[in-house]
């Protein structure tokens, strides 16, 4: 390892389009050490990101298989394929695993962990040991819950509403609750680490308005982690106490109020939607300028919109409770405030669109995902306005309209952003290029499969099919079969990347430092980066997103 210093120096001096020399043993973070111990006890944020990536991918597979069972059951209207009990357990596995163990940690714990120090020019996160601890906490809680929902089975759905979860369900609710509570701590630790890192670890010259939007959105997300997660922890503790000791606070039999659980639950779980969406918006804000080769339009407004979303989202949780007996005044206030969410969301969409406008577009795989994201997010967001409207909400509350709406945000938004980010930063993370044709084909499969699966659910919900039922009137069968058929296309789209990305690890072309001609400090270092990220203190450019095309915001155009 005596040549380590000189190799890193070379990596920094090299032309960014030339792959790193590989005849010698490479000195990047992947190859610096290779024992199991060096992975499981690592404090390198990049390796911890990969630990998270592997585990959440596994959870994604579990959740997706459960979704497959749900769609399979709904092919027939009379619930003949599986028992109602099995159906309930299947959609609970799907919801619990996807929300708590995939969507919430997905982008922050993987790309956030990997990229935030790189993007701000730091050697690591502020608290590297805490970062590793958060992964162990996550795995402990997640595996505990996974065992409960898969081996035992839970039938409450991911929301664990009382009194079903406390008094009526006779399934393994208690261990599932304990596991989810534990996972909350890992979110808090990750959020804490990001907040402190972004505040204190920025390289000299990296002012707030030179930060990539990805960092801004992760900062906003981390604030939600810190401010919202403890409240769900408390709600779950009370729920555990309720189920184990009959505390009674949520039990109408003693004069308790189940609606109070919903208040505490949604104080977290509505902002949690932005925990899932904001990081995705950060990913899109990186991909779009890179593949338009154009400066991000309205940088400051996109940054402010991230903080705006993270704040406004704490004032709207009651829109989940319009028909649950909450006061008319509360419904009115929550409904009016919910419309406000549309403003920062629209700011972002308009700015991405304006960035694409007159850009020099390359429709590579990450950009395909980004374009898909923008379209689906618009549909998901606009249908959110329907749901925020009190009178319409009465009609479509707890129907498939809601299911379709949040899948357009969660899958059309977060999952597409996750996959887009995975393809965008894959060369940086692994040092290998994947097969571009297969990337484009699977992006197309996912886009088509997603829409065929979920668009019919808008219609089903509008016609009145309630969510979470194992059976439905026969006239809904056509649309349900269409939805199930779409899910098989979607599944294929998910399977392709698992094959060609893994394949690229051994057989992919070596990736240069900056394969996309993208801007940002993470592209200034080698692919994969050295253990301490940069050879020296990185030089921070004065303008973020300093791409060749800068019109029309500034009125100038030079190429």
Nearer to other proteins by C-beta: 193 or 430?
A: 193
Helix and strand numbers (H, E) in the chain are: 19, 0
Number of neighbouring beta carbons within 10 Å of residue 552: 13
Q: Which residue, 55 or 229, has its beta carbon nearer to other proteins?
A: 229
- Contact between 247 and other proteins per CB under 8 A: yes
What is the C-alpha end-to-end distance of the chain, expressed in Å? 43
Candidates 1-9, 195-203, 371-379, 520-528: pick the segment binding other proteins (CB under 8 A): 195-203
Could you give the maximum distance between any two Cα atoms of the chain, in Å?
73
Which pair of structure tokens corresponds to residue 239? 């729920």
Question: Out of 133, 234, 444, 448, which residue is the one contacting other proteins (CB under 8 A)?
Answer: 234
In angstroms, what CA-CA distances link 504 with 26, 415, 438, 500, 511?
Answer: 17, 21, 11, 6, 11
Smallest gap from residue 329 Cβ to other proteins (A): 4
Place of tokens 């890179």: 290
Judge residue 114's burial from the number of C-beta atoms within 10 Å of its C-beta, 0-12 exposed, 13-18 middle, 19 or more buried. Answer: buried
Q: Which is nearer to other proteins, 17 or 199 (CB)?
A: 199
Q: Which is nearer to other proteins, 136 or 507 (CB)?
A: 136
Q: Which stretch binds other proteins (CB under 8 A): 72-80, 173-181, 323-331, 485-493?
A: 323-331
Nearest to 415, CA basis, from 64, 48, 114, 93:
64
User: Helix or strand or coil: residue 549?
Assistant: strand
Task: Give the integer Cα–Cα distance in Å for 424 and 427.
Answer: 7
Q: How far apart are CA 13 and CA 9, in angstroms?
A: 6
Task: CB nearer to other proteins: give 255 or 555.
Answer: 255
d(CA 552, CA 545): 14
Per-residue interface string for the shown chain with other proteins, residues 251-290, x marking contact by CB under 8 A:
--xxxxx-xx--xx--x-----------------------
| 370 Cβ contact partners less than 8 Å away, ≥ 6 residues apart | 283, 284, 287, 288, 291, 352, 416, 417, 420
The least distance separating other proteins from the CB of residue 398, rounded to whole angstroms, comes to 19
- Residue 43 beta carbon to other proteins: minimum distance, rounded to whole angstroms: 9
Contact 490, 445 (CB under 8 A): yes
Could you count the other beta carbons within 10 Å of the beta carbon of residue 223? 22
Interface residue with other proteins among 161, 314, 386, 494 (CB under 8 A) is 314
Estimate to the nearest angstrom the gap between the alpha carbon of 266 and the chain centroid. 18
Contact predicate 343/385, CB 8 Å: no
Q: Judged by CB under 8 A, does residue 530 bind other proteins? A: no
**Which among 197-205, 464-472, 521-529, 544-552 is the span making contact with other proteins, rule CB under 8 A?**
197-205
Which CB sits closer to other proteins, 235 or 416? 235
Minimal CA–CA distance to 214: which of 298, 271, 280? 280
Instruction: Find the binding residues for other proteins in span 87-146 (CB under 8 A).
Output: 122-124, 126-128
Work out whether 481 is an interface residue with other proteins (CB under 8 A): no
Which range binds other proteins by CB under 8 A, 167-175, 225-233, 276-284, 489-497? 225-233
Stretch that binds other proteins, among 31-39, 241-249, 374-382, 489-497 (CB under 8 A): 241-249
The answer to whether the CB of 117 falls within 8 A of the CB of 124 is yes
Verify binding: residue 392, other proteins, rule CB under 8 A. no
- For residue 50, which of 115, 137, 122 has the smallest C-alpha distance? 115
CB of 2 to other proteins, least distance (A): 19
> For residues 218 and 109, is the Cβ–Cβ distance under 8 A?
no
Nearest approach in angstroms of CB 528 to other proteins is: 18
Please tell me whether residue 329 binds other proteins under the rule CB under 8 A: yes
Q: What is the dihedral of CA 85, 404, 325, 226, to 10 degrees?
A: 100
In the complex with other proteins, the residue whose CB is nearer, 68 or 128, is: 128
| Closer residue to other proteins in complex, CB, 115/149 | 115
Given the rule CB under 8 A, which of 48-56, 81-89, 191-199, 502-510 is the region that contacts other proteins?
191-199
Determine if 317 is a binding residue for other proteins (CB under 8 A): yes
Least Cβ distance, residue 52 to other proteins (angstroms): 19
Rg (CA), the chain: 23
Cβ-proximal residues to 208 (8 Å cutoff; 6+ apart), any chain: none
245 near other proteins, rule: CB under 8 A: yes
Binding span for other proteins by CB under 8 A among 79-87, 149-157, 312-320, 441-449: 312-320
Residues between 333 and 362 that touch other proteins (CB under 8 A): 333-334
Cβ proximity to other proteins, 312 vs 511, nearer residue = 312
Q: How far apart are CB 196 and other proteins at their closest, in Å?
A: 5
Q: How many residues bind other proteins (CB under 8 A)?
A: 55
For binding to other proteins (CB under 8 A), which residues are involved?
A: 122-124, 126-128, 188, 191-193, 195-197, 199-201, 226-231, 233-235, 237-238, 241, 245-249, 253-257, 259-260, 263-264, 267, 314-315, 317-318, 326-330, 333-334, 532
């Amino acid at each position: 390892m005596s040549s380590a210093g000189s190799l890193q120096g070379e990596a920094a001096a090299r032309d960014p389009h030339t792959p790193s020399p590989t005849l010698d043993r490479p000195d990047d973070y992947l190859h610096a050490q290779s024992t199991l111990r060096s992975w499981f006890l690592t404090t390198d944020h990049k390796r911890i990101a990969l630990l998270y990536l592997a585990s959440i991918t596994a959870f994604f597979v579990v959740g997706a298989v459960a979704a497959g069972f749900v769609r399979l059951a709904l092919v027939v209207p009379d619930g003949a394929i599986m028992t109602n009990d099995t159906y309930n357990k299947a959609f609970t596995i799907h919801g619990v695993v996807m929300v708590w163990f995939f969507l919430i940690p997905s982008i922050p714990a993987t790309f956030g962990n990997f990229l935030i120090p790189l993007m701000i020019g730091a050697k690591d996160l502020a608290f590297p040991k805490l970062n590793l601890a958060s992964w162990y906490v996550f795995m402990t809680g997640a595996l505990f819950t996974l065992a409960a929902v898969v081996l035992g089975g839970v039938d409450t759905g991911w929301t664990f509403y009382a009194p079903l979860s406390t008094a009526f369900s006779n399934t393994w609710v208690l261990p599932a609750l304990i596991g989810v509570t534990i996972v909350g701590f890992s979110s808090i630790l990750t959020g804490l680490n990001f907040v402190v890192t972004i505040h204190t670890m920025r390289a000299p010259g990296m002012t707030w308005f030179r930060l990539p939007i990805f960092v801004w959105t992760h900062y906003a997300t981390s604030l939600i982690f810190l401010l919202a997660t403890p409240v769900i922890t408390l709600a779950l503790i009370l729920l555990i106490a309720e189920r184990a000791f009959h505390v009674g606070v949520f039990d109408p039999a003693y004069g308790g109020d189940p609606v109070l659980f919903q208040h505490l639950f949604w104080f977290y779980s509505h902002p949690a939607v932005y925990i899932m969406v904001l990081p995705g918006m950060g990913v899109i804000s990186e991909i779009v300028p890179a593949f338009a080769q154009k400066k991000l339009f309205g940088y400051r407004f996109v940054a402010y919109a991230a903080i705006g979303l993270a704040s406004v989202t704490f004032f709207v949780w009651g829109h989940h409770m319009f028909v649950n007996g909450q006061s008319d005044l509360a419904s009115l206030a929550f409904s009016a405030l919910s419309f406000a969410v549309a403003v920062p969301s629209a700011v972002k969409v308009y700015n991405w669109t304006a960035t694409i406008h007159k850009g020099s577009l390359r429709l590579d795989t990450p950009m395909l995902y980004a374009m898909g994201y923008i379209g689906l997010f618009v549909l998901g967001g606009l249908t959110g306005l329907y749901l925020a409207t009190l009178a319409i909400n009465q009609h479509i509350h707890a129907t498939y309209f809601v299911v379709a709406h949040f899948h357009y945000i969660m899958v059309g938004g977060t999952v597409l952003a996750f996959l887009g980010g995975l393809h965008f930063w894959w060369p940086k993370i692994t040092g290998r290029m994947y097969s571009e044709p297969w990337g484009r084909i699977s992006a197309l499969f996912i886009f088509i499969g997603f829409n065929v699966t979920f668009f019919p659910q808008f219609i089903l919900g509008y016609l009145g099919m309630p969510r979470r039922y194992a059976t439905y009137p026969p006239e809904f069968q056509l649309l349900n079969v269409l939805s199930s058929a779409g899910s098989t296309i979607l599944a294929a789209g998910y399977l392709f990347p698992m094959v060609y990305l893994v394949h690229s690890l051994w057989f992919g072309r070596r990736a240069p430092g900056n394969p996309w001609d993208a801007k940002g400090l993470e592209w200034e270092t080698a692919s994969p980066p050295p253990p301490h990220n940069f050879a020296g203190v990185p030089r921070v450019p004065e303008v973020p997103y300093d791409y060749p095309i800068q019109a029309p915001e500034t009125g100038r155009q030079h190429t």
